[in-house]
Structure 1
Amino acid sequence: MAIILRLDRVMADRKISLNRLAEQVGISTVNLSNLKTGKVKAIRFSTLNSICTVLNCQPGDILEFTLDE
């Protein structure tokens, strides 16, 4: 996939746990874990908005585009 999720890196920089972020964003830890590990095909803008609000970051800090080879 050409979009890589860098949520784990941003979470580590902010020193926030999966459980705490899930609670503050309002999604299950399982869904957030799937986002963190890149096992999803889509993300809702409302979820991305909440994650960026809690982590005080931009969507580009979490999402990275690379060309498929």
Structure 2
Amino acid sequence: MPIVVDLDVMLARRKVRSKELAAAIGITEQQVSLLKSGKVKGVRFETLEKICAFLECQPGDLIRYEPDQSDTN
């Protein structure tokens, strides 16, 4: 998938555990885990806003576009 989620990287940079993030923004640890693994089809802007506010970062610090090599003809 060309969208890469770097939430785990940002959590490590901020020295924050998934459990702490989940409690702070009002989602479950399982939801944080799914976000970190990129196994979600989408994320609400409200949730993204809360994550960015808590981690003091920009959305681009959490997600990035990396095209598949097979897509570039």
TM-score, length-scaled by structure 1: 0.96
Instruction: Give the percent of matched residue pairs that are identical in Structure 1 and Structure 2.
Output: 45
2:61 aligns with 61
Q: What CA RMSD, in Å, does the superposition of the two structures yield over aligned residues?
A: 0.6
- How many pairs does the alignment contain? 69
Structure 2 residue runs of 5 or longer lacking an equivalent are none
> Superposition pairs for residues 1-69 of structure 1, below 5 Å?
1-68=1-68, 69=70
TM-score, length-scaled by structure 2: 0.91
Structure 1 residue runs of 5 or longer lacking an equivalent are none
In 2, Cα distance between the equivalents of 1:21 and 1:60? 18
Letter in 1 for 2:52: C
Aligned-pair CA distance for 1:37: 1.1
Residues 2-59 of structure 1 show CA distances to partners (whole Å, capped at 9, x for unaligned) of 1100000000000000100000011011111100111111000000000000000000
